[in-house]
Chain A
Amino acid sequence: MATDTGALDTFPKFLLDNAKKFGERPAMRHKDFGIWQTWTWAEMLEEIRNFSVGLKALGLKRGDKVAVVGSNRPRLYWSFCAIQAIGGVPIPVYADSVAEEMTYVLQHAEVRFAIVQDQEQVDKLLSIKDELPALETLVYDWQRGLGDYEEPFLHHFGEVQAEGKKLLAQSGAEAEWLAGINEGKGADLSVMLYTSGTTGKPKGVMLSYDNLVVSSQNANKFDNFDETDEIIAYLPLAWVGDHIFSYGQSMTAGYCVCCPESPDTVTENRREIAPTYFFAPPRVFEGLLTEIMVRMEDAGNFKKKMFNYFLDVAKQTGERILNGEAVSLMERLKYKLGEFLVYGPLKNRLGMTRMKVGYTAGEAIGPEIFKFYRSLGLNLKQLYGQTEASVYITAQPDGQISADTVGTPSPDVEIEIADNGEVLYRSPGVFMGYYKNEDATKETKTAEGWVHTGDAGFLDSKGHLRIIDRAKDVGKLNNGSMFPPKYIENKLKFFPNIKEAVAIGDGRDYVAVMLNIDLQPVANWAERNNIAYASYQELANHPMVYDMMAEHVDQVNLDLASEERVAGAQISRFLVLHKELDADDGELTRTMKVRRSLINERYDALIDALYDGSNEKHVETEVVFEDGRKGSISATVQIRDVELHEPLHQSGAMKEAAQ
């Protein structure tokens, strides 16, 4: 489908092409004033063209960097394309970043223009404008509260468009704009995405049109997306996933992107739209499931029974049907009835009635949660990606799904596992480099184009990648076995009764863990079983709780034993901590991640006890109350031994048998 603009290698060219091919099809929707407003590809082209020409009139030039700040609104997505049509480079910035963070990114990228959502962002930028000598022009989308701002460099989106429209009426203006698009090449810098930078300063990942276009096209082919699909855009613009799903793939496949009314209405808006393609991090799927379960608790007895019965049916048959396995007629009939009575209405509630493909990524998803959605007949899959790869590194092909792998290499992606277990990849989506940071680029990307992910993992017998931990966190036991702490902890945390887990083992003889019970489910369980207790501490130390934990640990060991690379990391001893790990005490970060080094120091007596063979240990721990006062709690913590399982090296055993 070549056009007069030549090869389709940049997004503005795709826009022109889509307007021709799918002129009357919806390109974008936005709920405004309580009604879904729709723009067709032809209308969207006009909006973008007007804005683009208006921007040029304001002085935007080829190569200029433009910050785009705000939530998922059509005008901000149009900005991407409008900027790119002139040859500028959009830099989406996290809307919730505080002024200082934004200062760094905007300074580093030397942005000349900023296109922002509303007064909040305008105020933020005005407050740091003195530190941004390069920033000349601000354009805002939503004018509320901005009526009496008199800064001459401040423009309303609508005014810029109106100016552009006026200019376009002159002869030759449109041809000039089209010529500008033609000048763009696939190798040009398309977008710069700053990684959130958990360590050190954020780095600007430079992605070319070639990176994004090829990755988007591959992804569309992989999951059969075309112009009839629909997606709801609700993830941060600055995140590479959203840029690919809501911009790259939409432009290349021609599908419709729906913007919610506000960040608070996403769930409701999703139900209205029922997207065919849906991405969410695991916590969103978890949250939805919890919501359903809580509502079901309030339902009448009959409904509850029906729900539970058909959920059991789904558990037994749903996934097998989805994977195309053999299922008996009776089971199929029951499942059909369940679809009519329970799954259908439930999917409607979730806004997943039309969902063709759903993806989750970013962190490990609980197998129960994953299976729940799949058993309803939803094609939920996992993928593994990075900003530096234009998202896709691996993804699960239809029918080859499991909760603990992230799939096979995506089209055109090569994967290699380094000696230390780190995953390396090479693909057409591999980024050009970090902006103004040669050293970091060299560190991450080898001369041959291999990129270090920083994650440790392995390819299993079926060629699926399993990610086990951050490469730098993976340690070794004294006998040489690999020790991936987070992998073990996550497996433990999937049990609802376990809130936190800390695994120890690097440089030691065996693996030991410290557990935190989750008070809510455990207290509930205690009530049902008539177990009396007076405090968290007493409950945590109860022998029956220990029995329950021992079962969980045993289950995890069984799991680990079945995996070749980590079978040596089975848990030998465990204890249940007498207090909850708490951010107030500095044991967790504010985002609820375990602070390993601090815990090692604080509980060194317990850790010693885990390795000296004793069965209990008396400890005293200082705690900080919410008002800042300090106190201490003391307890005698028991320690239990756990039986290890024989490693079940399936693949290895089979190979031997074959020989």
Chain B
Amino acid sequence: MNAPAMNLHSGRDDGIAVGEELLSVSNVTLRFGGVTAISDISFDILKGEIRAIIGPNGAGKTSMLNVINGFYHPQEGTIKFRGEERSRMRPYEAAASGIARTFQNVALFTGMSTLDNIMSGRSLKMNKNFLTQMFYYGPARDEEIAHRRRVEEIIDFLEIAHIRRQPVGKLPYGLQKRVELGRALALEPDLLLLDEPMAGMNLEEKEDMSRFIVDVNQQFGTTIALIEHDMGVVMDLADRVVVLDYGKKIADGEPNEVQADQNVIDAYLGVPH
């Protein structure tokens, strides 16, 4: 009765080896009326890496994430995911193609339990119709059981078994963030976008979350792009960092290179104009 080796990664055979380009953003510009949120930004995300997007407030980090998962449509530039150039895409199409995300402000169904919230992340993967699901019979039941097993693996992985049945609205913030990560993992994503996964957490919660992020990356091979303010966390976690400031890319490279970059220091500490 050994637990089977966990493999939450969808294992989609997309012909992309670890270290090759999974997603590339080329010359993307995003405007809201007269405001340019992102201007002419290009960077890539390699399969299997943890890529951090950092920058001061209002630098356009979240906008960048929203562009990647199809929530915003840039006026200029192209996005290639798994080598294919993407046309206008809706968020659910992005989800179906293997991009999952979490939000800066927790966006869970607060009245539902932890289990149901994570289960909702599987809905895209369920293909039995509404009617058979309603009667919970035969194939629909088998499907539900299979998905439940996956969800239980995630619960085990994130160590949230003790809150399985609790409504998430009652949980402390740090745990809600973890549940949200669980729901994103339920999608078995190829690319996981994390929008400030550690915002508002205390040191201990941050350390826990960092460990989970590293573990997700290592164990499931999930590529992760994350936005984070805490520089210490970024420097520890990320393989490569891209730095935005006022909608422009000002640096891109390994953490220690970026840290030493004068532009970055200026952007964070401010320079006399």
Contacts and interface: CB of A to CB of B under 8 A. Distances in A.
Interface of A: 31-35, 37, 39, 43, 143-145, 147-148, 158, 161, 261-262, 264-265, 268
B157 interface: yes
B68 to A, nearest CB: 27
Contacts of A264: 161-162
B153 to A, nearest CB: 7
Given A34-B164, A264-B162, A158 B152 contact: no
Question: How extensive is the interface on chain B, given as a class?
Answer: 20 to 34
Given A32-B156, A34-B152, A144-B157, A39 B1 contact: yes
Nearest to A74: B1
B219 A32 contact: no
The 7 tightest CB contacts between A and B, nearest first, are A264-B162, A33-B152, A265-B162, A145-B215, A261-B161, A34-B152, A262-B161
Given A144-B215, A145-B211, A147-B218, A33 B159 contact: no
Interface string B125-158: 0000000000000000000000011001101110
A24 B153 CA distance: 28
B112 interface: no
Contacts of A35: 152
A264 B6 CA distance: 23
B214 interface: yes
B1 A43 contact: yes
16 contacts: A32-B3, A32-B156, A34-B148, A35-B152, A37-B1, A143-B5, A144-B215, A145-B211, A145-B214, A145-B219, A147-B218, A147-B219, A148-B218, A158-B2, A262-B161, A268-B162
Contacts of B1: 37, 39, 43
Interface string B1-21: 111011000000000000000
A161 B153 CA distance: 22
Q: Which of B148, B149, B156 neighbours the largest number of chain A CB atoms within 10 Å of its CB?
A: B156
Interface in B153-175: 153, 155-157, 159, 161-162, 164
A34 B215 contact: no
Contacts of A265: 161-162
Interface in B222-242: none
B159 A262 contact: yes
Q: Which of B1, B153, B155, B161 neighbours the largest number of chain A CB atoms within 10 Å of its CB?
A: B161
B218 A145 contact: yes
Interface string B169-186: 000000000000000000
Contacts of B149: 33
B23 to A, nearest CB: 24
Contacts of B215: 144-145
Contacts of A143: 5
Interface in B182-223: 211, 214-215, 218-219
Given A33-B152, A264-B161, 8 more contacts: A33-B149, A33-B153, A33-B155, A143-B5, A144-B215, A145-B215, A147-B218, A262-B162
Contacts of A148: 218
Nearest to A266: B162
Q: Which of A31, A33, A158 neighbours the largest number of chain B CB atoms within 10 Å of its CB?
A: A33
Nearest to A39: B1
A33 B3 contact: yes
Contacts of B6: 144
Contacts of B153: 33
Given A39-B1, A145-B214, A145-B218, A34 B162 contact: no
A34 B2 contact: no
Nearest to B115: A34
A268 B162 CA distance: 8
A35 B151 CA distance: 13
B75 to A, nearest CB: 42
B249 to A, nearest CB: 31
A144 B5 CA distance: 10
Contacts of A268: 162
Q: Which of A34, A37, A143, A148 neighbours the largest number of chain B CB atoms within 10 Å of its CB?
A: A34
Nearest to B149: A33
A353 B218 CA distance: 45
Nearest to B152: A33
